[in-house]
Amino acid sequence: MPELPEVEVSRMGIKPHAEGQIVSKLDVRQPQLRWRIPDELYDIEGQVIRSVKRRAKYLILETDVGYALVHLGMSGSLRVLPSGSAPDKHDHVDLHLASGVMIRYNDPRRFGAWLWQPNDGEHPALEKLGPEPLTDDFTAEYLFEKSRGKRTAIKQFIMDNAVVVGVGNIYANESLFTSRIHPKRQAGQLTLEEAKVLVADIKDVLATAIKQGGTTLKDFTQTDGKPGYFAQELLVYGKQGKPCPVCGTELESAKIGQRNTVFCPECQN
């Protein structure tokens, strides 16, 4: 499923086309996504999109009267196309802009979402989220303090959006490998020095993935239709049974929090 880098790449892709543009029409062909698209979303018609932001895996299209939240779910993607382009089977939402282009949302599995929040507060989906991993709010000292007394596996811990947002399964695997931390270790056993290494590696892995255009595994494509190339950079994710790229030991896998986890039993402890 699209993770933080893929969502950030989508934000970067639609931003130059959407910011400052008037929404001329909202066309919803399939309102039943993960949650039913609310009628209030039509309030965006006639509004200027003031900014295109991201919070965790949500894209935020801000206007003077409220903001739309877009979540790509497991298989969603956004494309920028000329208005009037014929829709395909899974093209569920078109956001037409006065400039003559539209932002088209495609989602075969329909686990994504289009939501609306008027300017009277914060949407519940954004409440209780941890810091963004690529900001100065996410520090080693923060992660270390947050982990004190926690018995949950460190991999589950860094994937908890209440701790830090956007460290999905792929990037948790990769970051823990480069940090040489065993994914099953209790979070409370993390030392401050290890937290410094882990935070730096999380930032580096995510930044590299964004630079590469996101990871294409099954469903994700960029807004121009080009795939992401970070999959070519993966060190351990999806490579169980293959030799460790550092020591040559066979990579092992385990289920942690019902997610497949790949690690080196020799390098990671």
How confident is the prediction along the chain (269 residues), in pLDDT tens digits per residue? 678 988 998 999 999 999 999 999 999 999 999 999 999 999 999 999 999 999 999 999 999 999 999 999 999 999 999 999 999 999 999 999 999 999 999 999 999 999 999 999 999 999 999 999 999 999 999 999 999 999 999 999 999 999 999 999 999 999 999 999 999 999 999 999 999 999 999 999 999 988 887 655 444 455 666 656 556 678 999 999 999 999 999 999 999 999 999 999 999 99
Q: How is residue 94 written in tokens? A: 């078109």
Q: Which among 143, 264, 269 has a CA at the least distance from the CA of 202? A: 143
182 is annotated as contributing to ligand binding: no
Marked catalytic residue, from 3, 8, 62, 174: 3
H or E, element range at 52: strand 51-55
Amino acid 221: pLDDT: 52
Amino acid 2: pLDDT: 79
90 is annotated as contributing to ligand binding: yes
Amino acid 217: pLDDT: 43
96 is annotated as contributing to ligand binding: no
259 is known as an active-site residue: yes
Distance CA 108, CA 91 (A): 8
Amino acid 232: pLDDT: 63
218 is known as an active-site residue: no
Amino acid 211: pLDDT: 84
Amino acid 3: pLDDT: 86
180 is known as an active-site residue: no
Amino acid 233: pLDDT: 77
Marked catalytic residue, from 5, 11, 54, 57: 57
Render the burial of 135-168: b for 16+ CB within 10 Å, e for the rest. Answer: eeebebebbbebbeebebbbbbbbbbeebbbbbb
Question: CA angle 156-6-154, nearest 5°?
Answer: 10
Q: How is residue 31 written in tokens? A: 């309102």
- Please, are residues 182 and 263 in contact by the beta-carbon 8 Å criterion? yes
Marked catalytic residue, from 25, 185, 239, 259: 259
Amino acid 118: pLDDT: 97
Domains of the chain: 4-126 (3.20.190.10), 140-263 (1.10.8.50)
203 is known as an active-site residue: no
